[in-house]
Structure 1
């Protein structure tokens, strides 16, 4: 067997390729950013042809930097920006329209109509998702309604839909000369079209959105020895595919039930591995497929988003101007061990799950003369911990699976005191991700498992240095009292009485 695994990470901003060895280290990597096209205020698009061109160039560059050839790769894995929608002509390979990116909200009225007439409940029951314009189904619907001739082509099977994973696989395996039109269960689970139980396209959901089945890719497990085909140019198997968040979760070793993962940037994306039984959240959380190995049941996850986590710290540093830099913020937060009764609720644009309140606004509660900028910095970090606790508790209430560990990656994970505070507030051991590129790792691990490069998940080289681990230090009584105070603080947020009339006067 060849000595290395290749992995594409086709993200929202760039396409990256890395060559990964048996120890998980990268022997070579290259990346190229693609254009962010914004034809209108609520629209975000990418050029699929540019993405394909960049994929070819970064693969060649990464192999060159590693001093290797494609024949040195035992397999290739792919991870990608989930929910982004590409539709192209099977006969010519030309896209019918620019890719509509997951961030694009041109279909917000279509998504709102689903909730208004009750169809959103069908989507939640079957697909496990809360109706949202970010998912692919309304984007496909919009394209079918606005691109002349597309619906007829889709019904004939000449117009093909896929995420950027499907687009790259189709191109890599031959394109118009017999390219594979396939995807994996994690990407399919982000469309609002796949039934979480059958792991296949659901006829009722297809009818609901008016999507012809003939345009949809075949769904395979995330690790598939032969389902994704081989590259037309070099005959390298494509044996692992995972959506971006799921790849990061897998690359961080969160493959066991009870493992939680968080990507912490301007906001926190939280996922909990809930095992092989899908549940439908009662708290507004999404149920998604985490991964599926060959000939085994799918593994599911609950997902929640927490807004304004890193943004809250940035507000304190930049907008409020109380501290000179992120480093000064971290130093200040670590200089005190408690907030002395100060609570910061950064509901800048409302409160989200598990208790959504769009009219809520941010508040500082308990402010006293003795409080300093250090207490404010620590209260900012504790607010993230409290909201993490709420989301994880909602997940446990939904599925009866308690989080046992929490692995954090993303730009905000560089802050030691932030991770220590999250461990204290949530009561869960926290680890910082060992890899700077966990999605790439996840795609490589999936591909390697598909060809026997690693025998099972126990062999995957997931490393967590001891200095990057934090255990909870708060006693149960302190945590319980602090959470109760936090809930009281949140209850006091909301628009000021008469705020609208004051603003207009």
Structure 2
């Protein structure tokens, strides 16, 4: 792998006190250092890593050469820059590191060797459709929602326990490792913490409550692995990591430029963005536009079961003795990934940013609608049988219309989530905090405001996901004293997008989107 880093640093006078975060995403890894006094970025390195597509609808990552090596590269490069420009060793100025990660991606490894036993199955991978159907058939109610009241999640290809069940059913090596009780399983946070704290010799096998709540194996009430769920999936608890809070010291770096620095914060990427956007009060909502699109609504200290296809999840638990906060979540599997598809698969654009120029060249989509259901549809539909659909094409249609329809597709999916959340909460949203790569596009955010009919607020400092994880780490080691301290010290400035589209046009377009959704359903055979 030849990384293509994007690095920047600022020099300081005197020995600084900083916090940092590993942000391990679906297509790239980053290491970001923050000044806790302001929340500003001190240094950042990012590199993409290879995606593996063995079959249609499948997506894998190599745990060592993809995930771990890319993270190690970003840490090493950032630390080199810090030392070069400040004269201080990074481990002397970085007080703690947090981890935020792609959440439902499943990793399995051998406790004896510390080596992975199978490629990681990525959260958006759809190979487990038949596994989902067979699991539903095994429940007394034959319902996708049979365990929803316990774990907050429906049966879906999305969640980690289903992926682990598939690996156990299809890899004799992994199944044997479980029988011999040398199997270790975890989401990406667990894999990284284990490896960075020493691997097979002394690595710490832990996860936090936010990542554990995405597996289908944790009780939302007890915040512990649930015996009934583990027995149903035939997963031995001995392979599971210990569940900890989102802000405490899990261990220290065993080697490298950060040797001895505490790893002290851990949040799944969407929960980290909720924290980084300072949504600490019940009723506050953020939406992150990355590979997928994820909206979280803080519901406070008690889990709320959705009546409209949303997920119930842990938002954060900021310390071992603190109470957990919960959230309702709407998850869209394909958002920025649709732009990447236009670039890599279709060759319509050469860079992701080019989509904005194409889309802005036309005033509308020419009545073209694009449903990017490449791996089915997540919330609020939960349809594995849906597939990508483009409708409304005529001889007038051009790549400009398709580019604009791609941006609008994310905005329409977000509106479907907003309507579900408004119905569940009974209190319609008047604004939406946004972050993630797609929010760099002013056009996309204006379209989002137009289609929602409410304002969209985009922070000027866009790395809110990493900031949330860095705050959790800083809180654990005393750099921050509380969430209130974090909010006070890191005041957010934001761009605001107000709706310009008329209500009748907005509703007409959304009605047509619903028709496009209907045409995407039932294409894949899931029998």
TM-score, structure 2 normalization: 0.78
Deviations 1:307-363 (A, max 9, x none): 776659998x9879xxx9644456456xx7xx7x98664346587644678499655
Secondary structure of the structure 1 residue equivalent to 2:465: helix
Deviations 1:143-196 (A, max 9, x none): 323333544543554221111211121122232333211100111111111112
Q: Shift of residue 208 of structure 1? A: 1.2
Q: Shift of residue 285 of structure 1? A: 1.9
Matched, 1:449 2:475: yes
Change over 3 Å in CA distance of 1:417–1:237 after alignment to 2: same
Tell me which residue corresponds to 1:485: 508
Secondary structure of the structure 1 residue equivalent to 2:144: helix
Change over 3 Å in CA distance of 1:332–1:142 after alignment to 2: closer
Change over 3 Å in CA distance of 1:458–1:473 after alignment to 2: farther
Matched, 1:59 2:75: yes
Contact preservation (8 Å) 1:88, 1:160 = yes
Tell me which residue corresponds to 1:199: 223
RMSD: 3.8
Q: For 1:17, which of 28, 31, 36 is the aligned residue?
A: 31
Deviations 1:18-76 (A, max 9, x none): 22222222322333433333344443332222233443343222111012331322111
Change over 3 Å in CA distance of 1:347–1:12 after alignment to 2: closer
Secondary structure of the structure 2 residue equivalent to 1:26: strand
Q: For 2:48, which of 10, 15, 33 is the aligned residue?
A: 33
Change over 3 Å in CA distance of 1:235–1:487 after alignment to 2: closer
Q: Distance in 2 between matches of 1:288 and 1:449?
A: 22
Tell me which residue corresponds to 2:493: 465
Tell me which residue corresponds to 2:201: 177
Structure 1 segment 260-339 matched on structure 2, within 5 A: 260-264=285-289, 268-294=293-319, 295-306=321-332, 311=338, 326-329=355-358, 331-332=360-361
| Count of residues in correspondence between the two structures | 479
Change over 3 Å in CA distance of 1:416–1:360 after alignment to 2: closer
Contact preservation (8 Å) 1:193, 1:201 = yes
Tell me which residue corresponds to 1:7: 21
Secondary structure of the structure 2 residue equivalent to 1:175: coil
Change over 3 Å in CA distance of 1:418–1:38 after alignment to 2: closer
Tell me which residue corresponds to 2:458: 432
Change over 3 Å in CA distance of 1:205–1:21 after alignment to 2: same
CA radius of gyration, larger in: 1
Structure 1 segment 5-154 matched on structure 2, within 5 A: 5-22=19-36, 23-50=38-65, 51-67=67-83, 68-117=89-138, 118=142, 120-148=144-172, 150-151=174-175, 153-154=177-178
Secondary structure of the structure 1 residue equivalent to 2:112: coil
Q: Distance in 1 between matches of 2:63 and 2:514?
A: 46
Structure 1 segment 377-416 matched on structure 2, within 5 A: 385=411, 387-400=413-426, 402-403=428-429, 405-416=431-442
Contact preservation (8 Å) 1:253, 1:462 = no
Matched, 1:229 2:254: no
Q: Distance in 2 between matches of 1:495 and 1:163?
A: 34
- Which segment drifts farther, 37-46 or 92-101? 37-46
Q: Distance in 2 between matches of 1:238 and 1:130?
A: 32
Q: Which stretches in structure 2 are left out of the alignment for 5+ residues? A: 1-14, 84-88
- Which segment drifts farther, 41-50 or 293-302? 41-50
- Which segment drifts farther, 209-218 or 274-283? 274-283
Change over 3 Å in CA distance of 1:215–1:465 after alignment to 2: same
- Which segment drifts farther, 237-246 or 27-36? 27-36
TM-score, structure 1 normalization: 0.81
Change over 3 Å in CA distance of 1:482–1:313 after alignment to 2: farther
Q: Distance in 2 between matches of 1:150 and 1:377?
A: 43
Q: Shift of residue 490 of structure 1? A: 4.8
Secondary structure of the structure 1 residue equivalent to 2:145: helix
- Which segment drifts farther, 269-278 or 76-85? 269-278
Change over 3 Å in CA distance of 1:331–1:462 after alignment to 2: farther
Secondary structure of the structure 2 residue equivalent to 1:235: coil
Q: Shift of residue 137 of structure 1? A: 0.7
